[in-house]
Chain A
């Protein structure tokens, strides 16, 4: 655009100054209006803000650290520990022994090293939980997106199915389903599949909700007017808005999956011998709770630690994505 106005002078700071000619009565003022003085706090991208808010949550960050440690230990710890989970000690003196240097979590009546078993059980639980979180999140997000965007029969079907899943106690569904796959009895992968089959609904509901509320907004209309395809609108415009809820929900799903898997195993309907699960360990150890507490407490505490850290992380994430209550320092 051709500049018909006089060239702007440059002040000491090197910033170009805008000149304004104002006519006031008979006088002509040439007033230099400086560059827009920035009084506001520095602008940040949304991702940075979320990260910053999450990091401010000391509990969530601490939990994240602990959780990562537990996951890494459980996934590869078994390989480094001198005992395998199925190994049996040779000397009878070591049977049912309390925690010691040699067996930090003690041993059971048959001679298994409890730490080895706990590591194995944790590995199975973590594997199942992560797999379920991934599968159910992906499936749930896609189905929820389709339901919220297209509505119609997909939406009705989804809502009905979600209602059903809520109606029938999960444990019961899982019990029946797990028995179905009894041929591949107790394989963690199939337990994971079964759990995913039921748990995807909560994420689907959340994503559906977001899509429903946003699909009528103007930016969607604008995108459509510009010729964006449905897929593009869904993935580039609508889905990012649901990211926060999806991530929070996925975290919660991890915790729920662990608790459900261990419960199933406790009932004897989940992961079965010869493999082990934290639920199985608790089941085996409960009678000995008073006489040989290490068999009962360690597996239980590991479950609690995993679920607790995941829940704290989820809480921190929820706050980071949507701080509706401004935290006012007392």
Chain B
């Protein structure tokens, strides 16, 4: 399936993207059939850039990140290219991949409660990460570990390093995990829903830490999340995923203010916003994402799309430039969304409640309704 990668202006450092994913596909055989978790995803990450990958549960975003890291179970069928500094990671031996993991590409997982090994101290685990890739002595590694904990904002780092993970709070644990990702100055950091399991206030701290990390290391960051608010504050570019495919890619502002794919529009419309005019109803997207086992032909969003036309059910739209070369979307009718289209214009607001309330008002009390019904019967 031909896709057009958005053409981005070349980064200042030159040398091209540090991570380039081309037509990545992942399939899992299961008892119920083959699950097409990822169906041809492509993107490029420049050094020092933050790419936000957004999508619902089951859209394939986590699987994409695991495929890049080579952490999928052996039964998974992976196709395509993951080019890191020119080398295709998918073709590397397990040994070579292990060499890159944690050193040049680092990963942060979602649940800080379970990410850290409960039987070793936090400092020990950081030290281990350092010793695995750097040729230094244990003492030096420990010092560095403490430094890193300090860098991510853990108070009293020297003492805290001797604590076990269960003695850290959720936010601190996640920051420790971020510190671990930083240890070897990676070129790419993949953060898979780093704030999902945390309170909102803690989220801010963790994102702040991530930003600081980027300043320090000028690494490229792939931030995977379903939270549009998180992405808005941090990402330079956004990739929207749906049913295993990327359906829109562009700069953050472009995506937020000029979405060209109905799904993106719907996502944005379902967010409550501070600048909304008071009594505007939210526009949820009705229905659920399709099963990735029996995907019918055509656009996977079509059944839930208010703009769907007959050809949407037969031809799956490819990613194509819609507003400048670096904003691409996968929709046959992306043009209709040009200009400032509000989600409420395309999607139905939640109206059932309003109608029911009107009906009740109209009926008055139950007794009156019964009386009316009885009268109607007698008349009949």
Instruction: List B residues 338-366 near A (Cβ within 8 Å).
Output: 341, 345-346, 348, 355-356, 359
CB distance from A134 to the nearest CB of B (A): 34
CB of B291 within 8 A of CB of A39, answer yes
With beta carbons under 8 angstroms apart, the residue of B30, B287, B291, B348 that contacts A326 is B30
CB of B345 within 8 A of CB of A39, answer no
Contact with A along B214-234 (1 / 0, CB 8 A): 000000000000000000000
Main SS at interface, chain A: loop
Please, which residues of chain B bring their CB within 8 A of the CB of A329? 29-31, 75
B302 to chain A: closest residue by CB: A37
Of the four ranges (under 10, 10 to 19, 20 to 34, 35 or more), the interface on chain B belongs to 20 to 34
CB of B290 within 8 A of CB of A23, answer no
With beta carbons under 8 angstroms apart, the residue of B75, B295, B359 that contacts A39 is B295
The count of residues in chain A whose C-beta lies closer than 8 Å to any C-beta of chain B is: 20
CB of A2 within 8 A of CB of B359, answer yes
A22 to B337 CA separation, bound complex (whole angstroms): 14
Contact with A along B290-317 (1 / 0, CB 8 A): 1101111000000100111100000000
A47 lies within 8 A of chain B by Cβ = no
> Looking at the complex, which of A28-36, A167-175, A186-194, A258-266 is the stretch in contact with chain B?
A28-36
Please, which residues of chain B bring their CB within 8 A of the CB of A22? 306, 345-346
B377 lies within 8 A of chain A by Cβ = no
Task: State whether A37 and B303 are in contact (beta carbons under 8 Å apart), knowing that A20-B348, A328-B30, A328-B75 are contacts in the complex.
Answer: yes
CB of A40 within 8 A of CB of B291, answer yes
Please, which residues of chain B bring their CB within 8 A of the CB of A33? 306, 308
A329 to chain B: closest residue by CB: B29
Instruction: List A residues 1-35 near B (Cβ within 8 Å).
Output: 1-2, 20, 22-24, 31, 33-34
| A-B pairs with beta carbons under 8 Å apart, 20 shown | A1-B356, A22-B306, A22-B346, A23-B345, A24-B341, A24-B346, A33-B308, A36-B303, A39-B290, A39-B296, A39-B303, A41-B32, A41-B291, A56-B31, A326-B30, A328-B75, A329-B29, A329-B30, A329-B31, A330-B75
Residues of B within 8 A of A (CB): 28-33, 73, 75, 287-288, 290-291, 293-296, 303, 306-309, 336, 341, 345-346, 348, 355-356, 359
For the complex of A and B, the 5 pairs showing the least CB-CB separation, nearest first, are: A39-B290, A37-B303, A40-B291, A328-B75, A39-B291
